[in-house]
Chain A
């Protein structure tokens, strides 16, 4: 009996060791290229970094880098608030849009494969440098404007709607934000590729028999959307929300990131750049933390 027990412990130990061997690249990389630089940059944000021949020195400066970033530097605070509010609004829009598109793409219709591949195209084409170059390309914007003006179709409808709502004065502020999102639908569409994939994968794991049962019981499509589909994919809302927010922070057309990179590469002010990056990071983390706590209250786990 005793021998058996030790043997089991031996097997478990062997398994544990091979498990550690498998994840060892991650552990080494994490310690070397994540934990170490993270602490270093935290330290740098509190100090004045002086470059020398053989290395660099951190001279303790206390909170003055943060003070400079928030009180002296003229554009940082404005860009920070702008980016954060843009992030909040766009992330919500991306979630709604991607869930809706995933619902549509999950239905069966002719040409589905083609439409799907068009929707996932931005995952490839609107990544990295492309996004920034596109957003600053004035010629393209002008041409798109020409097309919009010439084709008095959808653009006319949104404008007309906007005028009606403006003159009646219904919840002006909220509608302004909504119109901003609608005008921005291209950006929303191109940054929701991965989210659509994640939602689609979730939708496909819901068994058809559930819908059939609901159908027989007299449940309409609309009801089964809220009573079956929504709870079943609610955990993916959490995943997608976090992914969207994080993805937004890393986009190349983010102005805060631009400013940080400028301070680092052009002004060589590493301390200030770290302080700005940390302030941004802490704010984003706070937003993610609070929103995750709120969303996870509503998440329903099937099993």
Chain B
């Protein structure tokens, strides 16, 4: 069966058409993992490329992500544990003391569009709350800080993960305007990304 129409409808943000396409593909016996990878995720990759090239704007990207999610919801019961795991579960929030959440929200939406399961911890998130999210199954955490004064809470969170004996089982990604690659390395984070579209790329590499 031709998966192209699903691919195209995700890019165009047509949630209804994606749903009916996914239903038809499942009925025709196409493997759920194949639909996920070759239609949904491939389409979101293309959306990401168009965004980076400046052909797509944020709202268009979000509507494509919504269409992708609609298809994914139908696939979920048919996906194997391995397929689901592949994408990963990310707990994301702004660090303690920081209320700047626009960047964090964008990153979360993009990751969701790329097939990640998102646990949005909101703003002003304590190290303990990040630890708890990992205990509850997140295999990736994303921390955002826009203030010089709150950046230190990123390393406080990493220390808390270590203290809880969880550091080895989770990947840590950081971002926000004052955060740099160098800073990320210095606090022992696994990765840094300067913007939302590179955040998805980096997150995928981390869980690969």
Q: Do A and B come from one complex?
A: no
Residues on A facing B (Cβ under 8 Å)? none
